[in-house]
Amino acid sequence: MSTHHAPTDLPHDPVRRSLVMAAGLGAIAAVQGTAAAQGTAAARARGALGARLQGVQHFGITVQNMDRAYAFYTEVLGGTEIMRDGDFQGDVIHNTLLLNEEIDARQRGVNPVSLGVPDLRGGAQRLDVRFIQFDNVVIELLQYRDRSQPQGSGNSFAPPQAFTSPAFPKSMHVCFYVREDVDFNEFVRDLEAEAARRGMHNVKANRIVASNSEQDRRQAPLDTLTNRITSGKSDGWSLIYAKGPEGEQLEFVQVRGRAKRVFGEALKARGRA
């Protein structure tokens, strides 16, 4: 067991003596605090997986036509390009993105191309990406193309999936948050109109009433463009599903009232935890 002795060379002046001692104690506390912070950071780095995350960085959408998708997310929905890169090829990127699918193809005894695996390894196909910033999320657009195809407007390596229903397992969607002071019905109407003006006629939002034809869907009343939930924990939640220009599944929501409180309280609870 060790004991601590006061320094023998402290000034005789009581004021200076107390200042020197305080400085010494402060230095010790600083060192201890730094060590504690480092210990906390190290513990967090080794802790539960959730504690090692800092949120969702982006959602990715593989597209058939990069320029068309880019125009939709920047010019129609108003996102801002962060960066673009492309012509990715080679062994490392191929394995990084496609290794599991390639192994699956071998186990099935089929050509990897039949499972949608491009040859980035040999460079027959290339990958281009563009990142688009919205207020609270980043969207990454990806296009796989043959090396002979131009970036942006070139043909895609593979056709889009035939089935687009969001009910299929493994289906995903991107949800956009509509401001509370915006009329939701008008937003959906204007979204379809602006997309159509740009030739994106496949941008279509659902309605909350049954439609027997595309004409019925288009002619449905304005107030059928929003599903407003007014009971239960989702009270205050408004939503509609829509297809983007690449056939991707989109959702648009407003969150008010009880639903907003539920999400807000959950966020605060997670912060405290």
d(Cα 194, Cα 201) in Å, to the nearest integer? 10
d(Cα 30, Cα 144) in Å, to the nearest integer? 53
The tens digit of pLDDT for each residue in 51-73 reads 888 888 899 999 999 999 999 99
What pLDDT shows up at residue 3? 42
Judge whether 189 and 183 are in contact, CB under 8 Å: no
The tens digit of pLDDT for each residue in 170-220 reads 899 999 999 999 999 999 999 999 999 999 999 999 999 999 999 999 999
**Taking all residues of the chain, what is their mean pLDDT, rounded to a whole number?**
87
What pLDDT shows up at residue 44? 65
Query: Per-residue pLDDT averaged across 78-85, rounded?
Result: 96
- What's the predicted TM-score (pTM) here? 0.80
For the chain, domains (ranges, CATH) are 57-159 (3.10.180), 162-272 (no CATH)
Checking if the pLDDT of 17 tops 60, the result is no
d(Cα 245, Cα 72) in Å, to the nearest integer? 7
Contacts of 99 (CB under 8 A, 6+ apart): none
Residue 270 or residue 248, greater confidence: 248
Opening angle at CA 193, ends 189 and 196, nearest 5: 140
What pLDDT shows up at residue 245? 95
Residue 104 or residue 49, greater confidence: 104
The pLDDT > 90 percentage for the chain reads 71
Structure confidence at residue 18 as a pLDDT band (50, 70, 90)? low
Closest CA to 209 of 232, 235, 240, 171: 240
